[in-house]
């Protein structure tokens, strides 16, 4: 009873703050927590039977059968490896480049020019992967691609880019960074602009040069944001960007060894049978691994620095 009283008192005291988180809470309940009940489909053979709920209830339980297709062949190793390695590379290089770019942008004296660069880098983020796929194609097309044309003018042989797996790990990383770098660096740039200017002034009085200022003020101030964004990225490490691996590679069969990831595997495998249970199973598997990884990495971060951890 006493606890309950304290609870209402707490609510009363924080009502302004609680009111502010209300929209997000409602949003999360409807779009994140409520749909979680749907994961039950991954253990069922989903068949239509009236409305959605009655379909779920009437569908047959199949245990873990829906998960089998993910692990039944050698492809299980390939898709897991590709998904994980690409995402690790994206996270690491993405972090370094985004922070570096943010610092460079913040140091440009001509603010108008800085805005230009910033917008220019930001734009690709808004393009859909289909469009990006055609951009890449205009570079890599065999007959009409820019790269082959340039190679020809130097007397080099044309390359069949879309059937040479060895180039694709690089192409994919470059295309991903080109598209996402602008957005991430803007996030860091906003944080840099928020750093108290007096810190830099004090450093300058003490005779610190630009490099020392960056190393001793900017980077430590950015560390919490970097950790949090990285932790969140780790949570999605088992999700691959479908558009990147499907559209940009033009779904070329010869490249599957280096471009097949969990999401494309699921799409290719299920597009003929359209088993909702199996695609839900794949999603649940991805979320589960992501969840475990976030908890683990958050635990590790806590060990080092409690303030930087997510929770």
C-alpha to C-alpha distance for 196 and 187, rounded to whole angstroms: 17
Task: Tell whether residue 50 is a contact of other proteins (CB under 8 A).
Answer: yes
Name which position in 11, 18, 37, 48 contacts other proteins (CB under 8 A).
Answer: 48
Residue placing its CB nearer to other proteins in the complex, 6 or 149: 149
State the nearest-atom distance from the C-beta of 46 to other proteins, in Å. 7
Least Cα distance to 96 among 226, 215, 193, 183 occurs for: 226
How far is residue 63's CA from residue 86's CA, in Å, rounded to a whole number?
A: 31
Between helix 129-140 and helix 168-193 the angle, nearest 10°, is: 130
Beta carbon of residue 260, minimum distance to other proteins (angstroms, whole number):
7
Q: Which of 246, 265, 284, 298 binds other proteins (CB under 8 A)?
A: 265
The bridge status of strand 60-61 relative to strand 44-45 is antiparallel
Distance separating alpha carbons of residues 202 and 197, to the nearest angstrom: 9
CB under 8 A: which stretch of 5-13, 52-60, 110-118, 285-293 binds other proteins? 52-60
Distance separating alpha carbons of residues 38 and 36, to the nearest angstrom: 5
Assigned token pair, 111 = 């603010």
Cβ–Cβ under 8 Å, residues 275 and 253: no
The set of residues, in sequence order, having a beta carbon less than 8 Å from that of 108 and lying 6+ positions away, is: 114, 117
Closest approach, Cβ 137 to other proteins, in A, equals 9
Tell me the window of 170-178, 200-208, 219-227, 294-302 that interacts with other proteins (CB under 8 A): 219-227
Is 63 a residue that touches other proteins (CB under 8 A)? no
Residue 285 C-beta: closest distance to other proteins, Å: 14
Q: Is 275 in the site for other proteins (CB under 8 A)?
A: yes
Which member of 194, 197, 205, 207 binds other proteins (CB under 8 A)? Answer: 194
The yes or no reply on residue 150 touching other proteins (CB under 8 A) is no
Among residues 278, 284, 289, 301, the one that binds other proteins under rule CB under 8 A: 278
Residue 126 interacting with other proteins (CB under 8 A): no
By CB under 8 A, tell whether 69 contacts other proteins: yes
Per-residue DSSP letters for 208-233? --HHHHIIIIIHHHHHHHHHHHHHHH
- Determine contact, residues 136/176, Cβ cutoff 8 Å: no
List of residues contacting other proteins (CB under 8 A): 24, 27, 31-32, 45-52, 54-55, 65, 68-69, 72-75, 141-143, 160, 162-163, 187, 190-191, 194, 196, 221, 224-225, 228-229, 232, 250-254, 256-257, 260, 265-266, 268-276, 278, 307-308, 310
């Amino acid at each position: 009873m006493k606890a309950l009283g304290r609870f209402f008192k707490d609510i009363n005291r924080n009502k302004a703050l609680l009111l502010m988180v209300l929209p997000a809470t409602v949003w999360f309940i409807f779009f994140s927590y409520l749909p979680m009940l749907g994961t039950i489909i991954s253990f069922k053979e989903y068949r239509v039977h009236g409305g959605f709920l009655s379909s779920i209830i009437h569908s047959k339980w199949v245990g873990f059968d829906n998960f089998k297709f993910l692990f039944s062949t050698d492809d299980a190793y390939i898709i897991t490896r590709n998904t994980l390695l690409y995402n690790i590379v994206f996270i690491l290089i993405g972090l370094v480049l985004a922070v570096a770019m943010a610092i460079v942008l913040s140091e440009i004296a001509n603010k108008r020019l800085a805005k230009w660069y910033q917008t220019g880098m930001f734009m690709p983020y808004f393009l859909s992967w289909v469009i990006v796929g055609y951009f890449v194609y205009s570079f890599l097309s065999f007959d009409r691609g820019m790269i082959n044309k340039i190679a020809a003018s130097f007397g080099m042989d044309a390359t069949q880019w879309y059937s040479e797996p060895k180039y694709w790990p690089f192409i994919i990383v470059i295309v991903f960074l080109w598209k996402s770098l602008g957005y991430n660096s803007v996030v860091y740039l906003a944080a840099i602009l928020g750093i108290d200017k007096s810190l830099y002034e004090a450093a300058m009085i003490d005779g610190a040069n630009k490099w020392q200022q960056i190393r001793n003020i900017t980077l430590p101030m950015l560390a919490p944001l970097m950790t949090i964004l990285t932790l969140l990225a780790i949570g999605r490490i088992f999700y691959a960007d479908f558009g990147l691996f499907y559209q940009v590679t033009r779904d070329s069969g010869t490249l599957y060894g280096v471009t097949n990831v969990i999401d494309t595997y699921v799409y290719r495998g299920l597009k003929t049978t359209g088993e909702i249970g199996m695609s839900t199973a794949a999603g649940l598997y991805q979320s589960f691994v992501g969840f475990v990884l976030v908890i683990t990495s958050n635990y590790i971060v806590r060990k080092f620095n409690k303030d930087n951890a997510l929770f």
